[in-house]
Amino acid sequence: MRSATRLIFMGTMVMAASTAAAAPPSIITQGKGAAIACASCHGVDGAGNAQAGFPVLAQLPPAHFAKQIADFKAGTRTHPIMTPIAMAMSAEDIESSARHYASQARPKSEATTVDPAVIARGKNLAINGAWDRHVPPCFKCHAVDGLGVAPAFPPIAGQHAAYTVSQLQAWKTGARTNDPQKLMKTVAENLTDDDIHSVAGYLATLGTREKGNE
């Protein structure tokens, strides 16, 4: 009797410990109702998918993450797949998934097949900008390492190129409008298509950071 109680007690402890340490919330692994599991597109580790253009979510500041879901819910950001998922997420789902993804390491940088001259052009834009065209460097707001400045400026280093291109184009055309103070819209409007592809290509080559969003 005594040993059985002890066994149950220990089992409970192990479960509690693993939940606290690593187990991702069920919204990520199982989904809920109309919300398919986050992991099916973004991975449990938040690495996304380069080919499909599903974005990296690892180390997004939780407040930024939560704002995006809230904007999908409110219709101020729209996406055919994400909008219905966001509608089905509860406050707890948002909080737990935001916290989980913020704690994941950024993915390893990708080997790129993009022309080195294009990458160099993108690097110059990211670091120096093109002030004569009213384009500040990406890294002025997203930090010198491109890994973001919480809470409002998300990491962009290591983001999949296809996703970065799609979002810059969306701001440029007005399809995406949920940036604070039109900061991204204004920059995107002053970028050429060449700029967008170069800078997205460069950002995708950038390295990683250890786990944990401060």
Which of 7, 22, 52, 144: binder of another protein (CB under 8 A)?
144
Residue 82 marked ligand-binding: yes
Here the tokens at position 203 are 């950002």
Cβ closest to another protein, residue 30 vs residue 76: 76
How large is the angle between the packed helices 193-204 and 161-173, nearest 10 degrees?
150
Q: Is 143 in the site for another protein (CB under 8 A)?
A: yes
Cβ closest to another protein, residue 98 vs residue 150: 150
* Residue numbers 113-142 binding another protein by CB under 8 A: 128-129, 131-132, 134-136, 140-141
- Known binding residues for heme c are 38, 41-42, 82, 138, 141-142, 184
Binding site for another protein (CB under 8 A): 128-129, 131-132, 134-136, 140-141, 143-145, 147-150, 152-153, 180-183, 186-187, 190, 214
